Amino acid sequence: MESLTLSDVEQKYYSELFLSCDVDNTKKVASNGKVLDLFRAAQLSNEVVHQITELCGATRLGHFGRSQFYIALKLIALAQSGLPLRVESLNSVRDLPLPRFVMGKNEQETRHAVMFADTENQGPYFPRPPGRVQAKKVSAHEMIQPCVPTVDPQPDTTSPVVSPHQSPPTSPHAWRKHKRQASGGNVDRQPSVPGVVWPPFREAQPGPVTGDGMWSAHSPPPVQESWVSFTDTPPSSTLPMHPPSAQPESTTVRTVPSAMTTNEIQRQISGYDDPWKITDEQRQYYINQFKTIQADLTGLIPGSAAKEFFTKSKLPILELSHIWELSDFDKDGALTLDEFCAAFHLVVARKNGYDLPEKLPESLMPKLIDLDDSAGVPEPATEVDFSASPVEVTPNKSPSMPSLNQNWSELNQSNEQWETFSERSSSSQTLTQFDSNIAPADPDTAIVHPVPIRMTPSKIHMQEMELKRTGSDHTHPTSPLMANPPELSDETKLAATIKFPGTTVGDGYSSSDSFTSDQEPISSAVNRQRSHSGTSPEGLKVVAPPPPPPRPHASHSRSSSLDMNRNFAAVPAGPQQPGVVAFPPAVPPRPLPTQTSVPHGHRSVEGDGLPAHTSTSPHQMPEQPNFADFSQFQAFAVDQPADDGENTSDSGQAERCAETTGTMKTAKNDIQSEERNATTVNSAKVSTPLAPPPKPVRRRLKSEDELRPDVEDLPQKSNVIATVLATQPSIPRSIGKDKKAIQASIRRNKETNTVLARLNSELQQQLKDLLEERISLEVQLEQLRPFSHL
């Protein structure tokens, strides 16, 4: 190293500076960070600083040894004097003023006592202790000259170099006094001292004791220099943040920060790389502040409280907003302790004039492990109370950083995954994408219940799919059924289950095998209801009003009177047993009158049946009582095919819910009854053999059974019975579920009612016919016996 001759003053000064920078006390290195900050505080351009660094050999060495440091300082002085930087001039220039370092000022510097812990040897050139300790509010001084401002009145302090030799003794005293705070003498001088940044901290208390300690360990000058560096920027607000937040507390708190700052300053040079690190003291301060808002350190500060708190810092809302964005790591609208510390740190930095970073610095990222303490100094410059903590690269930081980074990257990764997922899902052509969680973020993670969908084009399925959709359908597989949703969309939106079945029922009648979804019970139940109602109230597009589901229309397959069924069954089975057809109820046959009243047949089925019946064969006479049955025979004869179909479907349906087919049958029954009427008229004229009737009769008989369950005792015919039994049991068995059973029974009863009502009407008509016949007969008799009562 070039030999360097320093004057005494310089020597002292430089040594102090070096000590301040040499946090590690290695006597050889002041890490680049602090040194660079210091150099910047010299208000030299960066190139000059680099040049100086190179010249002094630090670049070569990678660090600043003492000699390098001294050289650098000297070069700084040279530069500041406007002299060209040359190594030769190091020793050649005499009377070089001491390098000047700027320090910001602060009204509250007075409080900043601690900084000047050790003043004894400090040359007067030390920059004014940042903390103007005592309550002396020093007016902001831009420059803290190495000179002894204490001596000079404040305005003069700007004459930096000049006063190096002035009142050297004073400064130490001043410092000491500053340090002690209480010293009034210093106080006097204090004012003259350029403000120090940290006034706020330095509440006149011994709070900074720690700082004191530290400072005593290190020469104030270095401290001050760092202070200086911090206070480059306009001193204006001293901790605007803090003042608002309870002055008294801020005072105490400030002391901590001030202590921190000194510490940080010392570490600053070492931690230069990471200006955003938070020192212990700072963190402690932040934690204390956190406690004022939220006692639980593991808890969260709500956004509104944080807003109020940080608004006190008087930063523009836009910047606060930006700070919030940076610091609210998990985007939850609340601040954890880490987030709060980061935000606070950013506010401090901003108040010190540091620009807010675009992205959260790694050191500020919320850490799982709290209290990582690395002093971070954003950049030399502001006076803020908090001293942008001097940067210090602590080894323990590094491990945490990578972990943080990993977390961050993982988080990003997960976000990416979310994105991809959402894209993936959106690519599936689902009609509905339920964004169940709109709020934060991921719109497409709605849970989808896999619902089995029967991929048949049945409308019932479509309806069921609609049901599922409303339920929570996310990845609704495309299917041909989806083509329908638009039509059903309206219905879907409404009380789904109820509606659907309605339409389903209407549409589903065409396909009887539709209930395979889990909606089945509901829809079937509703179907039943619907069938009872016979209409789809909401005006759904029901193809056909679901006819009541009674299976065999009027067959009342589930009817109680097994006998009747048996009888009826037997009837068709054994057409050769006309007598067999014994019809259950023993309505006294009235063949004669009925025969004559053939023409009235079409009034009622039974009526038709009667005449036809009577006319057909005498053996049917005994069946007269069951004329209804016969008429039903006739009717059945006509409707046989349909009835057959109903029968089969009925039995088939028996196995299943049976509603649809039942309703179908019912519908058909209704329709067929009319047909029957018409046909029976025709058939009445014809002597219909019993052959056709048997099958229809079975049906009809069954209905008759139900119609007159109580009335009749059916003469048993094995065949009939067998057939009837065959069909009968199947039906009740099919309905296993209670609800369905109830519904079915309700339906049955209703069917029974209707059938009975119809039968009643028919009987009434027959009665009328008979009466007419009787009247006519009497008239004839009268005519035949004209003279009977002569």
Partner 1 sequence: MNCPLYIRSVPTQGELKFHYTVHTSLDVVEEKISGVGKALADQRELYLGLLYPTEDYKVYGYVTNSKVKFVIVVDSSNTSLRDNEIRSMFRKLHNSFTDVMCNPFYNPGDPIQSKAFDSIVSTMMVQAC
331 in contact with partner 1 (CB under 8 A): yes
Nearest Cα residue to 645 out of 693, 696, 595, 603: 696
Among 91, 92, 304, 409, binds partner 1 (CB under 8 A): 304
440 in contact with partner 1 (CB under 8 A): yes
Residue 713 CA to residue 211 CA, distance in Å, equals: 113
778 in contact with partner 1 (CB under 8 A): no
427 in contact with partner 1 (CB under 8 A): yes
Nearest Cα residue to 724 out of 588, 604, 557, 594: 557
For partner 1, the closer of residues 36 and 496 by Cβ is 496
Of 244-303, binders to partner 1 (CB under 8 A) are 303
- Helix 659-685 and helix 496-508: axis angle, to 10°? 40
Q: 719 Cβ partners below 8 Å, 6+ apart? A: 569, 570, 573, 574, 577, 580
At residue 101, the 3 state secondary structure works out as strand
For residue 290, the minimal CB distance to partner 1 (Å) is 16
Among 201, 434, 515, 627, binds partner 1 (CB under 8 A): 434
Among 24, 249, 325, 416, binds partner 1 (CB under 8 A): 325
Among 165, 314, 322, 737, binds partner 1 (CB under 8 A): 322
Residue 146 · residue 160 · CB < 8 Å:
yes
Distance separating the N- and C-terminal Cα atoms of the chain: 171
Q: Which stretch binds partner 1 (CB under 8 A): 369-377, 434-442, 645-653, 765-773?
A: 434-442
Query: What separation in angstroms does the CA of 134 have from each of 206, 600, 632, 644, 747?
Result: 11, 126, 118, 112, 98
321 in contact with partner 1 (CB under 8 A): yes
Residue 541 CA to residue 528 CA, distance in Å, equals: 17
For residue 332, the minimal CB distance to partner 1 (Å) is 7
Q: 112 Cβ partners below 8 Å, 6+ apart? A: 106, 129, 130, 131, 132, 133, 178, 196, 197, 198, 199, 200, 201, 202, 258
DSSP string, 128-147: PPS---SS--PPP-SEE-SS
Among 153, 184, 333, 399, binds partner 1 (CB under 8 A): 333
Run of H or E residues at 102: strand 101-102
For residue 324, the minimal CB distance to partner 1 (Å) is 5
For partner 1, the closer of residues 153 and 440 by Cβ is 440
Among 328, 373, 383, 643, binds partner 1 (CB under 8 A): 328
For residue 352, the minimal CB distance to partner 1 (Å) is 20
Sign of CA dihedral 241, 244, 245, 249: positive
307 in contact with partner 1 (CB under 8 A): yes
Task: Fill in the amino acid letter for 131.
Answer: G
For residue 232, the minimal CB distance to partner 1 (Å) is 25
Residue 508 CA to residue 464 CA, distance in Å, equals: 11
419 in contact with partner 1 (CB under 8 A): yes
443 in contact with partner 1 (CB under 8 A): yes
For residue 535, the minimal CB distance to partner 1 (Å) is 24
For partner 1, the closer of residues 133 and 320 by Cβ is 320
Strand partners, 536: none
447 in contact with partner 1 (CB under 8 A): no
For residue 740, the minimal CB distance to partner 1 (Å) is 31
For residue 472, the minimal CB distance to partner 1 (Å) is 9
Count of CB atoms within 10 A of residue 389's CB? Answer: 35
For partner 1, the closer of residues 331 and 789 by Cβ is 331
Residue 57 gets the label, from left (phi > 0), alpha (psi -120 to 50) or beta, of left
438 in contact with partner 1 (CB under 8 A): yes
Count of CB atoms within 10 A of residue 358's CB? Answer: 8
For partner 1, the closer of residues 419 and 674 by Cβ is 419
Q: What share of the chain is helix, strand, coil (3-state, %, to 5)?
A: 60, 0, 40
DSSP string, 504-558: HHHHHTT-S----STTHHHHHHHHHHHHHH-S-TT----SS------SSTTT-TT
495 in contact with partner 1 (CB under 8 A): no
Among 249, 332, 410, 674, binds partner 1 (CB under 8 A): 332
Sign of CA dihedral 575, 577, 579, 583: negative
Among 431, 495, 767, 775, binds partner 1 (CB under 8 A): 431
Among 290, 324, 340, 627, binds partner 1 (CB under 8 A): 324
For partner 1, the closer of residues 469 and 676 by Cβ is 469
Q: Give me 532's structure tokens.
A: 């009872």
For residue 459, the minimal CB distance to partner 1 (Å) is 22
Of 356-375, binders to partner 1 (CB under 8 A) are 358
Q: Which stretch binds partner 1 (CB under 8 A): 160-168, 315-323, 549-557, 753-761?
A: 315-323
Nearest Cα residue to 608 out of 707, 523, 680: 680
How many residues bind to partner 1 according to rule CB under 8 A? 37
446 in contact with partner 1 (CB under 8 A): yes
416 in contact with partner 1 (CB under 8 A): no
Q: Which stretch binds partner 1 (CB under 8 A): 87-95, 430-438, 513-521, 600-608?
A: 430-438
For partner 1, the closer of residues 259 and 462 by Cβ is 462
Of 580-609, binders to partner 1 (CB under 8 A) are none
Residue 115 · residue 106 · CB < 8 Å:
no
417 in contact with partner 1 (CB under 8 A): no
306 in contact with partner 1 (CB under 8 A): yes
Among 444, 491, 769, 773, binds partner 1 (CB under 8 A): 444
Among 120, 435, 513, 538, binds partner 1 (CB under 8 A): 435
Residue 430 · residue 448 · CB < 8 Å:
no
For partner 1, the closer of residues 419 and 782 by Cβ is 419
> Residue 16 burial (CB < 10 Å; 0-12/13-18/19+)?
buried
Count of CB atoms within 10 A of residue 71's CB? Answer: 26
379 in contact with partner 1 (CB under 8 A): no
496 in contact with partner 1 (CB under 8 A): no
Residue 194 · residue 94 · CB < 8 Å:
no
Give the distance between the most distant pair of CA atoms in the chain.
Answer: 178
For partner 1, the closer of residues 121 and 433 by Cβ is 433
Among 355, 410, 416, 423, binds partner 1 (CB under 8 A): 423
Give me the count of residues in the chain: 790
Burial 735-761 (b: 16+ CB within 10 A, else e): beeeebeebbeebbebbbebbbebbee
Q: 327 Cβ partners below 8 Å, 6+ apart? A: 335, 339, 340, 342, 343, 346, 360, 364
For partner 1, the closer of residues 437 and 753 by Cβ is 437
433 in contact with partner 1 (CB under 8 A): yes
Q: Which stretch binds partner 1 (CB under 8 A): 66-74, 330-338, 648-656, 743-751?
A: 330-338
439 in contact with partner 1 (CB under 8 A): yes
317 in contact with partner 1 (CB under 8 A): yes
Strands (E) across 228-274 are located at: none
Residues that bind partner 1 (CB under 8 A): 303-304, 306-307, 310, 317-318, 320-322, 324-325, 328, 331-333, 358, 419, 422-423, 426-427, 431-436, 438-444, 446, 493
